[in-house]
């Protein structure tokens, strides 16, 4: 076979050389343009870093001068009030302190714009850097900044803080110091640019991040660093561009270069493809048709196409299998003049035909618009179709779905869900509607089964609730009933040998029996509300009053086993916002468990039950019950709060489960430790917290029984 002519070879060589030169030239031009953009991006980052560093230094000096002005002009008696006013105006200062000549804090004011700086960790544990700055300020008699240090905050957060120490001079000697704490994050917030393009951070020499500002992380490509020289300290500012490396179309210059390159490439490609375009298009069309055919035949969803008159023009095998009719039986049916579709139920033929006729009499669609869907199968004849928006040229219309009823070839009716979309030709004209048909009979059966199961579950839940309430009532009524029985036994003993003191003692015993009967009623109501998960009726009650209602029962049971009860309340006059009855049950359950734990193995002199009440700084009150029993084994601790789990033969296993639920309803947690510690070789502690009502103060008081 002869090769191509010489002219053809030379022409191909020329085209190849031209294409190669164009590719090389345009590639070099694009590379040079991208390098130019890299240099511009780096210059912008350097400029932002320089400006931000200058702003940070200026802001730090301004805040130093503000503290210095407060030091000069504020009288000692007015210092606290003026410091609060300044902190309300200056968000960059989180705390102001006055110290004496020995560095001891005389007074301190936290910013009202945020939570106190040292609320989680004491200031005395985080003052090393501040003390070093004050020592340097004392030697130089000038303001000095400290190294930054981390202050933990509530919720697992924290912030990096920079202290500035200003010496106070009196008669040429330092008489004290003023210390201001500046969070680095607030300094960044004040000087950060508005566009948020850059991530600005304070970093250490090894690159560790101290504080950051920016909505997005920097890419690490265009990074600028600037040291900020402050009196006594140096901090480093880092600016990182978040946009990363410029793309191929970052601006007009690169876009113009790429446009010219693409235009030249398109011209060359069009010249080379001119002879092969028709054959390639025909091959692509054949492959597309084959792919569409294979995809439609493999679908489990039925597909149906109808023209604007309602005649069926296409069905896929899944639709034929769904209705039980072959494609020849379905094609051509429908429309005003054609036969009705065989899958229409006979009882709905008139309804579907009437709706189809109404749609056919509607005005014809515009040239580039759409016709309304022919929804003759709607199950609700009076329901109107929502209007279909005009179809923009080349864009599909909004998919519309509705549910109706079809009939199989064997006469079985079944529900289907139909989704319809306009069928548009190559010129943008709507020629009909394409429908996707889903058989939803199985889904409806599953929904009915799920509904029946839900009803059965609700009935079972009600029975379980009744059982839970009965168990809780039997468990919680044991204590007041035992107290009533004890008082009744005491009355019988008094009546057996009456004397002059019998009547007062009987009156007191009967009063106590009445109180326990009322308590049993409150327990029944509280357990009933607790099981039904109703909102508890909380009241503000003094801790002392709460304990006075519980301690008689605790001491009555403790007296039987020779156990001493010690109550420590701090501070006096403390109040809590709780459901009184349920909290009394929690205390009774915990103290009873502690007393019972010491009955068998603890020697009589060591049987001490301690009850502590503490006010926490987070607005809650902590109750703690401590015993000196054998403690809790690890395998028992894992199941301690499991309902109906107990280690006693006569126990029900509901006490601790109820206690934990009540405490959690008050927003707290029930915790335990074993052994108790504090020099004790044995024992256990249970503690929980409840909301505090009001702010009270007082000294600790203890009562021993």
Tell me the per-residue pLDDT of 35-88, one tens digit each, with 9 for 90 and over: 877 788 888 888 888 888 888 888 888 888 888 888 777 677 788 888 888 888
- Unique residue bearing structure tokens 């515009």: 366
% residues pLDDT > 90 (the chain): 9
Can you give the pLDDT at residue 610?
94
Residues 6+ apart with CB under 8 A from 553: 479, 483, 588
Let me know: does 163 contact 129? Beta carbons within 8 Å: yes
Q: The tokens of 662 are what?
A: 């009540």
Q: How far is residue 86's CA from residue 59's CA, in Å, rounded to a whole number?
A: 15
Please tell me the least confidently modeled range out of 128-142, 411-425, 637-651: 637-651
Q: Are strands 564-569 and 608-615 parallel, antiparallel or unpaired?
A: parallel
Tell me the per-residue pLDDT of 178-225, one tens digit each, with 9 for 90 and over: 899 889 888 888 888 777 788 888 888 787 888 888 777 877 788 888
| Mean pLDDT calculated for residue range 684-696 | 84
Q: Check for a shared fold between 51-241 and 450-534.
A: no
> Reading across the β-sheet that carries 400-407, which strands appear in turn?
312-315, 302-307, 430-439, 413-424, 400-407
Based on C-alpha coordinates, what's the Rg of the chain? 43
Let me know: does 327 contact 342? Beta carbons within 8 Å: no
Let me know: does 45 contact 223? Beta carbons within 8 Å: yes
Domain range 289-382+395-439, CATH architecture: 2-Layer Sandwich (3.30)
Domain range 51-241, CATH architecture: 2-Layer Sandwich (3.30)
450-534 to CATH, choices 2.60.40.10, 3.40.50.10320, 3.20.20.70, 1.10.287.130 = 1.10.287.130
Tell me the per-residue pLDDT of 475-502, one tens digit each, with 9 for 90 and over: 667 777 777 888 788 888 878 777 777 7
Q: How far is residue 63's CA from residue 84's CA, in Å, rounded to a whole number?
A: 15
Beta bridge pairs of residue 577 = 540
pLDDT at 124 over 90: no
% residues pLDDT > 70 (the chain): 81
562: left (phi over 0), alpha (psi -120 to 50) or beta: left
Q: Which of 222, 253, 244, 221 is nearest to 30 (CA)?
A: 253
Q: How far is residue 609's CA from residue 629's CA, in Å, rounded to a whole number?
A: 10
pLDDT at 2 over 80: no
Q: How far is residue 638's CA from residue 634's CA, in Å, rounded to a whole number?
A: 7
Can you give the pLDDT at residue 392?
36
Distances (CA, A) of 262 to 258, 259, 268, 362: 6, 5, 10, 50
Q: The tokens of 677 are what?
A: 């510690």
Query: In degrees rounded to 5, what are phi and psi of residue 51?
Result: -65, -45
Our CA angle for 539, 542, 548, nearest 5°, is: 110
Q: What share of the chain is helix, strand, coil (3-state, %, to 5)?
A: 45, 20, 30
Collapsed DSSP state (helix, strand, coil) of residue 700: coil
Collapsed DSSP state (helix, strand, coil) of residue 698: coil
| Mean pLDDT calculated for residue range 235-239 | 87
Write down how long the chain is.
705
What's the CATH number for 536-704? 3.30.565.10
Collapsed DSSP state (helix, strand, coil) of residue 72: helix
pLDDT at 1 over 50: no
Q: Which of 192, 228, 178 is nearest to 64 (CA)?
A: 178
- Unique residue bearing structure tokens 């199950």: 379
Let me know: does 325 contact 342? Beta carbons within 8 Å: yes
DSSP string, 625-669: EEE-SS---HHHHTTTTSTT--SSTT--S-HHHHHHHHHHHTT--
Tell me the per-residue pLDDT of 518-564, one tens digit each, with 9 for 90 and over: 777 777 766 666 555 545 578 899 999 999 888 988 888 888 888 99
- The domain locations on the chain are 51-241, 289-382+395-439, 450-534, 536-704
Can you give the pLDDT at residue 466?
57
Q: How far is residue 554's CA from residue 303's CA, in Å, rounded to a whole number?
A: 78
Q: How far is residue 256's CA from residue 247's CA, in Å, rounded to a whole number?
A: 14
Collapsed DSSP state (helix, strand, coil) of residue 413: strand
Asked, as a colleague might, if the bond just before 298 is cis with ω within 30 of 0, I would say no
Torsion, Cα of 615, 616, 620, 622 (10° steps): -70
Our CA angle for 254, 255, 257, nearest 5°, is: 65
Q: How far is residue 213's CA from residue 183's CA, in Å, rounded to a whole number?
A: 13
| Mean pLDDT calculated for residue range 156-160 | 85
Can you give the pLDDT at residue 612?
93
Let me know: does 686 contact 671? Beta carbons within 8 Å: yes
């Amino acid at each position: 076979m002869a090769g191509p002519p010489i002219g053809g070879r030379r022409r191909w060589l020329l085209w190849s050389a031209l294409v190669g030169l164009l590719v090389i030239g345009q590639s070099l031009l694009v590379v040079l343009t991208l390098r130019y953009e890299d240099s511009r991006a780096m210059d912008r980052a350097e400029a932002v870093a320089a400006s931000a560093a200058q702003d940070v230094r200026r802001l730090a000096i301004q805040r130093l001068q503000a503290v210095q002005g407060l030091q000069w002009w504020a009288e000692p008696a007015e210092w606290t009030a003026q410091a609060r006013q300044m902190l309300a105006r200056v968000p960059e200062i989180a705390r102001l302190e006055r110290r004496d000549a020995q560095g001891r804090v005389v007074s301190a004011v936290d910013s009202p714009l945020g939570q106190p700086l040292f609320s989680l960790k004491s200031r005395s544990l985080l003052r090393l850097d501040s003390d070093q700055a004050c020592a340097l300020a004392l030697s130089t008699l000038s303001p000095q900044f400290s190294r930054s240090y981390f202050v933990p905050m509530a919720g697992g957060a924290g912030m990096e803080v920079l202290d500035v120490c200003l010496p106070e001079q009196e008669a040429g000697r330092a008489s004290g110091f003023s210390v201001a704490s500046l969070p680095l994050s607030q300094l960044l917030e004040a000087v950060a640019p508005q566009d948020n393009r850059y991530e600005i951070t304070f970093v250490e020499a090894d690159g560790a991040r101290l504080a950051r500002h920016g909505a997005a992380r920097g890419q690490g490509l265009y990074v600028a660093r600037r040291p900020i020289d402050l009196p006594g300290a140096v901090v480093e500012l880092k600016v990182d561009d978040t946009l990363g490396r410029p793309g191929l179309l970052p601006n007009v210059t690169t876009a113009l270069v790429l446009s010219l390159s693409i235009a030249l490439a398109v011209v060359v490609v069009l010249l080379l493809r001119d002879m092969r375009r028709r054959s390639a298009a025909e091959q692509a069309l054949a492959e597309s048709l084959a792919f569409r055919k294979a995809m439609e035949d493999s679908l489990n969803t039925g597909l149906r196409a109808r023209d604007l008159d309602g005649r069926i023009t296409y069905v896929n095998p899944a639709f034929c299998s769904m209705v039980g009719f072959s494609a020849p039986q379905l094609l051509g049916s429908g429309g005003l003049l054609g036969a009705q579709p065989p899958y229409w139920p006979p009882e709905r033929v008139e309804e579907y035909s009437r709706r189809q006729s109404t749609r056919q009499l509607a005005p014809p669609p515009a040239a580039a618009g759409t016709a309304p869907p022919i929804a003759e199968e709607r199950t609700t004849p009076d329901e109107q179709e929502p209007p279909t928006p005009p179809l923009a040229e080349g864009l599909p219309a909004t998919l519309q779905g509705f549910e109706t009823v079809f009939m199989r070839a064997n006469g079985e009716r079944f529900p289907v869900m139909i989704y319809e979309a306009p069928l548009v030709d190559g010129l943008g004209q709507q020629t009909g509607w394409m429908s996707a048909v889903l058989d939803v009979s199985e889904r409806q059966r599953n929904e009915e089964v799920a509904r029946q199961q839900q009803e059965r579950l609700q009935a079972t839940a009600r029975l379980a609730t009744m059982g839970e309430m009965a168990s809780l009532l039997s468990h919680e009524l044991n204590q007041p009933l035992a107290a009533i029985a004890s008082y009744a036994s005491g009355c019988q003993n008094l009546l057996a040998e009456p004397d002059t003191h019998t009547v007062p003692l009987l009156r007191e015993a009967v009063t106590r029996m009445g109180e326990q009967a009322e308590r049993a009623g409150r327990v029944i109501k509280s357990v009933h509300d607790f099981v039904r998960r109703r909102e508890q009726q909380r009241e503000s009650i003094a801790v002392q009053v709460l304990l006075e209602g519980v301690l008689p029962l605790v001491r009555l049971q403790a007296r039987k086993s020779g156990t001493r009860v010690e109550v420590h309340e701090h501070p006096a006059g403390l109040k809590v916002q709780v459901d009184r009855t349920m909290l009394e049950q929690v205390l009774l359950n915990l103290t009873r468990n502690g007393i019972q734990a010491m009955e068998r193995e603890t020697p009589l002199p060591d049987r001490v039950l301690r009850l502590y009440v503490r006010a926490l700084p987070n607005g809650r009150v902590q109750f703690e019950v401590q015993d000196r029993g054998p403690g809790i084994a690890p395998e028992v601790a894992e199941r301690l709060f499991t309902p109906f789990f107990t280690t006693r033969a006569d126990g029900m296993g509901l006490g601790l489960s109820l206690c934990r639920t009540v405490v959690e309803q008050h927003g707290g947690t029930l915790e335990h430790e074993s052994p108790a510690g504090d020099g004790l070789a044995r024992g256990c502690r249970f503690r929980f917290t409840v909301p505090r009502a009001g702010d009270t103060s007082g000294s600790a008081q203890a009562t021993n029984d």
